[in-house]
């Protein structure tokens, strides 16, 4: 999956954690994107069997999408916390984590996570 798809899924997850139900307009507002852009992305995520959209517009994760969203969000949280523990300010730490979370390999992330948890 491309980085943009991961960002959408992560945003949906964060919004669901905050308010339980999420619609495309919520995603557009959170990501500061146009409705048509988000609509195209939601169509792609539906085609990829990551989400479905209920008749009332509520976005619901399918198993594949939830797995990806949780994986990316965990990376974001762990990397942000690690960077802040190193003395990086919160804004920079979260921005850097946001970029790295999409490209770091599972193997490297697991090693970082294991090392970080032992300290």
Does 44 lie in the same domain as 12?
yes
Distance CA 100, CA 95 (A): 9
Q: Which domain holds residue 63?
A: 3-67
Could you tell me which of 118, 35, 22 has the C-alpha nearest to residue 69? Answer: 22
In total, how many domains does the chain have? 2
**pTM for this entry:** 0.88
**Which segments of 16-84 are extended strands (E)?**
51-53, 59-61
Digit-coded pLDDT (tens) for 64-116:
999 999 999 999 999 999 999 999 999 999 999 999 999 999 999 999 988 87
Q: Which CATH number characterizes residue 75's domain?
A: 1.10.60
Does 102 lie in the same domain as 61?
no
C-alpha distances in Å from residue 111, one per residue of 4, 47, 88, 107: 25, 33, 21, 6
């Amino acid at each position: 999956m491309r980085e943009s798809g991961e960002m959408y899924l992560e945003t949906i997850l964060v919004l669901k954690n905050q308010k339980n139900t999420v619609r495309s307009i919520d995603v557009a507002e959170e990501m500061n994107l146009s409705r048509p852009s988000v609509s195209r992305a939601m169509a792609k995520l539906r085609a990829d069997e990551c989400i479905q959209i209920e008749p009332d517009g509520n976005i619901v994760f399918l198993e594949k999408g939830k797995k990806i969203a949780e994986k990316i969000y965990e990376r974001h949280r762990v990397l942000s916390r690690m960077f802040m523990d190193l003395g990086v300010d919160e804004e920079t730490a979260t921005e850097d984590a946001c970029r790295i979370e999409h490209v770091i390999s599972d193997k490297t992330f697991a090693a970082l996570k294991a090392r970080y948890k032992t300290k």
